[in-house]
Structure 1
Amino acid sequence: MSLSPRFIAFILAFLISLITTTFLAFVDGVSKGMLFVVSIASFISSFFLVLYTIDILVFREVNKMYRTIHKLKMRDFNMTPRKKLIQESNPMKTINDEIFVYVTKKQKEIDELKKLELFRREFLADVSHEFKTPIFAAQGFIHTLLDGAMEDDNVRERFLKKAAKNLDSLDVLVKDLLVLSQMETGDIKMNLNPTDLRLMTTNIFSRLENIAQDRGVTLKVKPDDLHEVWVKADADRIEQVMLNLIENAIKYGNEGGKVIVHFTEGKKYIEIAVRDNGPGIPHEHLNRIFERFYRVDKSRSKEIGGTGLGLAIVKHILNAHNTKIAVMSKPDKGTTFSFKLEKAYTSAANDFNEAEAIPHVNS
C-alpha cells in the first residue's frame, strides 16, 4: 500500500466527509439531497486541504532532506537515485533507516579513528623510548671521552666499542622500522619461487649454532625422513620469518631445552611449526605479541636484545604470502608458532633445483 500524499489525503477526506454526514443525519429537517451535497463538498475541500498540507509542508521538506543527504554522502547509503521519496511505500521510515545507516557508519569511523589515534600515541611513545636508550648511551660514552677520558687508551677503546654497539642497535631498529613500514604500505612485493624450507632451516641452525650452544639448546627438524620441503615463497622473506621464530625460541626458551621445527605435508599446503619447551607465554599476552614493540617480559627482552619488531614483521610477511601465523602456548609447556605455505609442485621444484644446482643437506 502506497503512502503517497494523494492516498493519505483521500483517506482523511473520506473519513471527514463520513463523520460530517453522519452527524448531519441526526439533525431534523436535513434532506438526503443536502446530506449528499455536504458530503461531496466536505470530501473535496478536505482532500485538497490535506493534500496541500502533507505535500507542501511535509513531503516536500522530507524530499529536500533526502536529496541533501543523497548529495552529501551518496556512497554511505545503500540506495539508488530516486526522483521522489514519496514513491516509497513508507517515505518517513525509508529516510529514517538511511539516516540510521549513515550515523552507524560514521560512529564506526569515529571509533576507528579513536583507536588509530591511541595507536599513534602509543607508537610514538614506544619509538621515542626505543630510540632514546641507544642514543643516550652512545651520547654518554662519547661525551665522557670528550671530557678527558680520551687520553686513556683502554677507556677510549672500551667506550668507543660500547658507543658503536648502541649505534648498531639503533641502525637495526631503523632498518626494521623501514621494512615494517614498506610492508604495511605494500611497497615490498613478494617474489614467489620454489623454495626448500628443509635446506633453509638447516642453514639457519648453522647460523644460530653458537647461540644455541651457549644456552645448551638442542635444534632439531622433524620428521627425520623428510629431506626436502618445497613451497612457493619469497626465499629471502621466509628466511627472515624462520630466522626470527627460531632465534626467539632459542633465546626465550629454557636453557638446556629443545627447539623443534616440524613440517606437516598436506595435499596443497605445508604446515610449518616452530616449537620450544620453554616457560610459555601468558594467555593475556597472546593477542598482542605481534604488535610493534610489544614485549611480554620487558626486563628480560632488554637483556636478550632485539628491536621488538620481529614478530610484527613476521606477521606482515606471512600476510603478504596470503597466510596467517598462529600461536599456541601453555605455561611451563612451551610455545608453538605455526603457519602454512602453498606446496611447490614436484616438477616445478625439480626444474628449479636443476636450474640453480642447489645441494641438499640431510640431517
Structure 2
Amino acid sequence: MSLSPRFIAFILAFLISLITTSFLAFVEGVSRGMMFVSAISAFISSFFLVLYAVDILVFREVNKMYRTIHKLKMKDFNLAPRKKLITESNPLKTINDEIFVYVTKKQKEIDELKKLELFRREFLADVSHEFKTPIFAAQGFIHTLLDGAMDDENVRERFLIKAAKNLDSLDVLVKDLLVLSQMETGDIKMNIAPIDIRLLALNIFSRLENIAKDKDVTFKVKPDELAEVWVLADADRMEQVMLNLIENAVKYGNEGGKVIVHFSEGKKFVEIAVRDNGPGIPHEHLNRIFERFYRIDKSRSKEIGGTGLGLAIVKHILNAHDTKIAVMSKPEKGTTFSFKLEKAYISPASESIPEAAATQANP
C-alpha cells in the first residue's frame, strides 16, 4: 500500500470528519442535515490542510533530500532506479536507510584511506632506508679513494669491489621495485603455458647448490615416484616464485637442515609446498611477511642479504595466476609455503614443446 500524500490526507480527513460528526451527535438540537454538512466541511477542509502539510512541508523536502543523495552518489553508492520517494511505503525510513548506507560506505572509505596513508608513510621510510644503505656505503668507499687512498693499489681494488657490490645491490633493489610496481598495475602479462614444475624445482636446486653446501642443507622432492608434474603457469614468473621460496628456506633455515618441495596432485589442481625444518616464523609476523620491505629480524636479514621484496613479488605473481599463497609455521619446527596451480594435461605428442619451455626458464 502506497503512503502517498493524498492517501494520508484522505485517511486523516476522514477520521477528523468522523470524530467531529460523533461529537455533534451528542449535541441537542443538531439535525442530521447539519451533521452531514459539518462532516463534509470538516472532511474537505481537513483534506486540503493535511495534504498541504504532508506534501509541501514533508514529502517535498524529503524528495529534495533524496535527490541530493542521488547527486552525492558516487560509483560505490548503489541506489534504486530514480523515482519519487512518495511511491515508497515508508519514505522517511527509506531515506534514513539510504543515508545510513551512504555514511557507512564513506566511513569505510575514510578508514581505508587512513590505512593507505599509514602504508605510504611506512613504505617511503622503508624505501629511503633501503636506498640509503648501499648509496652511503658506495659513497664512502669512493670518497675515501678520492681523498688519497687511490694511490694504494690494494686498497683501491678492494674499495672499488665493495662499491661495485653496493651499487649492484642498489640495482637489484630498483629492478625488484620496478617488477613489483608493474605487477601491481597489471603491466606485466602472464604467459600461461604447460610447464613441468618438478623439473623447474630440480633446476633451482642445482642453481642453489653452492649456498646449500655452505649451510649443509639437503634438497628433496616428494613424492619420490612422481617423474613429472605438469601445471599451467608462466615459466619465467614461476621460476621467480620457486627460486625465492627455496632460497629463503635455505638462507633462513638451520645449518644441516632440509628443504623439501612437495607436490600433491588433485583432480584439477596441484598443490606445491616448500617446507623447511628451520626456526620458524613467530605467529605475530605471519600476516605481514608478504609486505614490502618487512623483515622479521632486521639485523639478521641484513647479514643474509636480499631486498625485502621477494615475498611481495611472489604474492603478486601468484595472484596473477588466480591463486593465493599460504604459510604455516611453528617455532623450532619449520615453515611451509604452499599454493595451488591448475593441472596441465599433456599428451605424449606435445611433451616436447613444454619441455623446451621449462628448459628456457633455466638457461
- Identify the TM-score tier after normalising by the shorter chain: over 0.9
Q: Are the aligned partners of 1:253 and 1:279 in contact in 2 as well (CA < 8 Å)? A: yes
Greater mean deviation of Cα atoms: 223-232 or 252-261: 223-232
Residue 351 of structure 1 aligns with an amino acid whose one-letter code is S
Q: Are the aligned partners of 1:194 and 1:352 in contact in 2 as well (CA < 8 Å)? A: no
- Alignment CA distance shift 1:321-1:170 (3 Å): same
Please give the alpha-carbon distance, in whole angstroms, between the structure 2 residues aligned to 1:359 and 1:23.
97
Identify unmatched segments of 5+ residues in structure 2.
none
Please give the alpha-carbon distance, in whole angstroms, between the structure 1 residues aligned to 2:337 and 2:284.
17
Count how many residue pairs are aligned between Structure 1 and Structure 2: 358
SS state of the match for residue 162, structure 1? helix
Runs of 4+ in 1 over 4 A off after TM superposition: 354-360
Matching residue of 1:263: 263
1:196-246, Cα deviation, whole Å (9 max, x unpaired)? 112111111111111000001111111222121111111111011110000
Please give the alpha-carbon distance, in whole angstroms, between the structure 2 residues aligned to 1:186 and 1:44.
68
Matching residue of 1:78: 79
Matching residue of 2:327: 327
Please give the alpha-carbon distance, in whole angstroms, between the structure 2 residues aligned to 1:77 and 1:259.
51
Residue 353 of structure 1 aligns with an amino acid whose one-letter code is S
Q: Are the aligned partners of 1:9 and 1:48 in contact in 2 as well (CA < 8 Å)? A: yes
Given the alignment of the two structures, is residue 160 of structure 1 paired with residue 160 of structure 2, yes or no?
Answer: yes
Matching residue of 1:53: 53
Shift, 1:4, TM fit: 1.0
Residue 225 of structure 1 aligns with an amino acid whose one-letter code is E
Matching residue of 1:298: 298
Shift, 1:72, TM fit: 3.0
Q: Are the aligned partners of 1:208 and 1:247 in contact in 2 as well (CA < 8 Å)? A: yes
* TM-score normalized with structure 1 length: 0.95
Q: Are the aligned partners of 2:223 and 2:263 in contact in 1 as well (CA < 8 Å)? A: yes
Matching residue of 1:353: 352
Residue 80 of structure 1 aligns with an amino acid whose one-letter code is P
Shift, 1:274, TM fit: 0.6
After the TM superposition, which residues 204-353 of structure 1 pair with which residues of structure 2 at under 5 Å, given as runs? 204-347=204-347, 350-353=349-352
Please give the alpha-carbon distance, in whole angstroms, between the structure 1 residues aligned to 2:52 and 2:243.
78
Shift, 1:78, TM fit: 2.8
1:243-293, Cα deviation, whole Å (9 max, x unpaired)? 000000000000011111111122221111111000000111111111101
Please give the alpha-carbon distance, in whole angstroms, between the structure 2 residues aligned to 1:35 and 1:55.
29
Q: CA RMSD in A?
A: 1.7
Q: Are the aligned partners of 2:271 and 2:339 in contact in 1 as well (CA < 8 Å)? A: yes
SS state of the match for residue 14, structure 1? helix
* TM-score normalized with structure 2 length: 0.95
Please give the alpha-carbon distance, in whole angstroms, between the structure 2 residues aligned to 1:330 and 1:209.
26
1:123-149, Cα deviation, whole Å (9 max, x unpaired)? 111101111111111111111111111
Identify unmatched segments of 5+ residues in structure 1.
none
Shift, 1:109, TM fit: 1.3
